[in-house]
Amino acid sequence: MLKRITEHDIDRARVSEKAVAVIEKLRDAGFEAYLVGGCVRDLLLGQVPKDFDVATDATPDDVRQVFPRVRLVGRRFRIVHVRMGREIIEVSTFRRALSEEDHEPHFSDEGMILRDNLYGTVDQDAFRRDFTVNALYYDPTADVVLDYCGGMKDIASRTLRLIGDPKTRFREDPVRILRAIRFSAKLGLNLHRDTEAAIAPMCEMLNAIPPARLFDEFTKLFLTGHGERAFELLSDHELVEILFPLPAHGEAVAKLALASTDHRIREHKPVTPGFLIAAFLWQEYLDHLEPTSTLASSQQEDPASTVIAAQQSTISIPRRHGWFVRDVWHLQPLLANRTSRNVARVLAHRRFRAAYDFLMIRCATGDAPDELGEWWTKAQTVETDELLRELPSGRSRRRRRRRGRNRRRRGAADMSVANGGPQVVEQ
Ligand code: ATP
Ligand code: MG
């Protein structure tokens, strides 16, 4: 089964010297060690790996004996981070797949893996990995690729294929469904027919994944430069609705926010999950703003909190990102309310820039008038007193009359006035 491949496209200049040093040091101490996973896959596809992982038969304690500066990490299993200058090399011990005989506590009643912390050999380690292209080992000393699962053939045909029976592998860990989408989006790989066919029957199982793990996967899907494509693929496989309550007419804002995030990443500008969460849940938030009963409305919970809390049951939103989302949303009606007092307040707000970027996305989808976006673009460079005087008269009086209504109702109303009617997102 093992193929040793000496003819391959790995460009040695792209291999981290620090990772090679870690491997050589482990070998000198009598252990087996290889580069593995995403870095080997990316090198074979001609891409620059973002980090380098090493797999070895040394246990975490053995690794600690070999390297003075290490840190033990890992929620689900122990991994060693070896620091080499500015680089951190992740070293993990070969593990084996669980078999039918490994019942509890390793599997849940539904067949999901709860623990996979059993050490194994390199060939066992290959078969417990998710996709064939992720199960290739590179020996930098001999310049050889070890292929146990047919990964080289799939690299050549740009195919993403689960190792083993697809339904079983998705059942064991449904997050592999999202990983399939992510690798396909990031690397332009085509899902193998059998892998793709297993998504629909297994996707409901994503509901059983802890929200914190889904948040991690959310950031990898959408904040690594290929979010727009990942969203398209999620949509094609009807997975969006499993992750978010995204109403169909909310897609336009979500897609533009993703395109803008991808663009910022290409330009090495900072990005934040909060901006995307604000976009994904925007339509849901607007739906919650619909004036309901006025009775005791001031005692009702902020609709922003209601919407964020509902999302937390699927994907957890760390507190600071939750506050970011609230700020961006709460600033939208204030952006539409151009009185001199408000304009000064909004410009000084620490989330003004994010709220403005969000407004521009709303303008681009027809969810807010272009004139409003253009006004705020100018307001950042020109004296606002002058701009305020240029506004058609009556605008600010109309706003003032609305004061005194409860805050949230006022927010919703202002947004619709600014749009010249109810919220309709153009498709
Ligand atoms: P990236 O470039 O995004 O880091 P990666 O392939 O390195 O891609 P990681 O999440 O860093 O992805 O995982 C490293 C390796 O561990 C994978 O290549 C795969 O072999 C294995 N792996 C990770 N998650 C799983 C999983 N859920 N099931 C099976 N194997 C996995
Ligand atoms: Mg990795």
Name the pTM for this structure: 0.88
- 179 Cα: distance to centroid of ligand 1 (angstroms): 8
Pocket of ligand 1, candidates 130, 147, 168, 226: which has the most ligand atoms within 8 Å of its Cβ, to mutate?
A: 130
- Residue 36's contacts (CB-CB under 8 Å, 6 or more residues apart) are 53, 54, 55, 125, 135, 136, 137, 138
The yes-or-no verdict on residue 385 having pLDDT over 90 is: no
The yes-or-no verdict on residue 398 having pLDDT over 70 is: no
Tokens, residue 221: 């899907």
Q: What is the pLDDT of residue 76?
A: 66
130 flagged as catalytic:
yes
Quote the CA–CA distance of 76 and 285 in Å, as a whole number.
Answer: 35
Q: Whose CA is nearest to atom 4 of ligand 1?
A: 38
Contact between 231 and 238 under an 8 Å Cβ cutoff? The reply is: no
Q: Whose CA is nearest to atom 22 of ligand 1?
A: 129
The pLDDT tens digits for 101-144 are 665 567 777 777 776 678 999 999 999 999 999 999 999 999 99
For tokens 């304009």, the residue is: 343
Which of the pair, 218 or 419, is modelled with greater confidence?
Answer: 218
Pocket of ligand 1, candidates 14, 129, 222: which has the most ligand atoms within 8 Å of its Cβ, to mutate?
A: 129
184-207: average pLDDT: 97
Q: What is the pLDDT of residue 230?
A: 98
Tokens, residue 196: 């793709």
Q: For 34, left (φ over 0), alpha (ψ -120 to 50), or beta? A: beta
For ligand 1, residues with CB inside 6 Å are 37-38, 50, 53, 129-130, 134-135, 173, 175-176
Mean pLDDT score of the chain: 88
The pLDDT tens digits for 291-349 are 654 555 556 789 999 999 999 999 999 999 999 999 999 999 999 999 888 898 999 99
Question: In the structure, what pLDDT confidence band is assigned to residue 75 with cuts at 50, 70 and 90?
Answer: low
Quote the CA–CA distance of 195 and 410 in Å, as a whole number.
Answer: 50
Quote the CA–CA distance of 133 and 144 in Å, as a whole number.
Answer: 15
- 255 Cα: distance to centroid of ligand 1 (angstroms): 26
Q: What is the pLDDT of residue 156?
A: 97
173 flagged as catalytic:
no
Tokens, residue 423: 């919220």
Q: Given 3-state DSSP classes, what are the helix, strand and coil percentages for the chain, each rounded to the nearest 5? A: 55, 10, 35
381 burial level (CB within 10 Å; 0-12, 13-18, 19+): exposed
79 burial level (CB within 10 Å; 0-12, 13-18, 19+): middle
57-64: average pLDDT: 95
| Residue of 51, 57, 102, 302 with catalytic role | 51
13-24: average pLDDT: 96
Give the residue from 73, 18, 26 showing the smallest Cα distance to 51. Answer: 18
Question: In the structure, what pLDDT confidence band is assigned to residue 246 with cuts at 50, 70 and 90?
Answer: confident
CA-based Rg of the chain, rounded to a whole angstrom? 26
Reported residue count of the chain is: 427
Give the residue from 28, 87, 35 showing the smallest Cα distance to 56. Answer: 35
Q: What is the pLDDT of residue 369?
A: 96
Contact between 291 and 412 under an 8 Å Cβ cutoff? The reply is: yes
Question: In the structure, what pLDDT confidence band is assigned to residue 406 with cuts at 50, 70 and 90?
Answer: very low
Q: What is the pLDDT of residue 409?
A: 41
Q: For 268, left (φ over 0), alpha (ψ -120 to 50), or beta? A: left
Provide the β-strand partners of residue 71.
81
